[in-house]
Copies of this chain bind each other. A is one copy, B any other.
Amino acid sequence: MLIGRVIGTVVATRKDEKLIGSKLMITQPLDLELNPKGDPIIAVDTVGAGIGELVVYTTGTAGRIAARKLDAPIDAAIIGIIDEMDFNKELLEGP
């Protein structure tokens, strides 16, 4: 899974009918310092994530599992809203 921030939505009237009812969120991948890293992806929201929220998202088949739509063409979904990240970057420093 990856860390991202929901920054918006995509509106698509003409789309795969299996996507009807799924919210397509523009989600920006982030690094540990919560800076943008790489380009945004479109993930289906499955946990009621709001714009601006810090989230965990999953990709591939796991996205369809999250959406409880195994027959939908989904390859990414938001699966958690991050309350807190605890980490120690010093663990990455050399001996």
Interface residues of A (CB under 8 A from B): 1-3, 5, 7-16, 18-19, 24, 26, 28-29, 31-32, 34-37, 39-43, 46-48, 51-52, 56, 58-66, 71-77, 79-89, 91-92, 94
Q: List 13 A-B contacts (CB under 8 A).
A: A2-B41, A3-B10, A7-B88, A11-B82, A12-B83, A26-B87, A29-B39, A31-B40, A40-B87, A60-B61, A62-B73, A62-B75, A73-B79
Which residues of B lie under 8 Å from residue A81 when comparing CB positions? Answer: 12-15
Interface of A is mostly: mixed
Known A11-B86, A92-B28; contact A71-B80, beta-carbon cutoff 8 A: no
Q: Establish whether residues B41 and A1, one from each chain, have CB atoms under 8 Å apart when the complex forms.
A: yes
Query: How far in angstroms is the closest Cβ of chain B from A73?
Result: 4
Q: Establish whether residues B16 and A66, one from each chain, have CB atoms under 8 Å apart when the complex forms.
A: yes
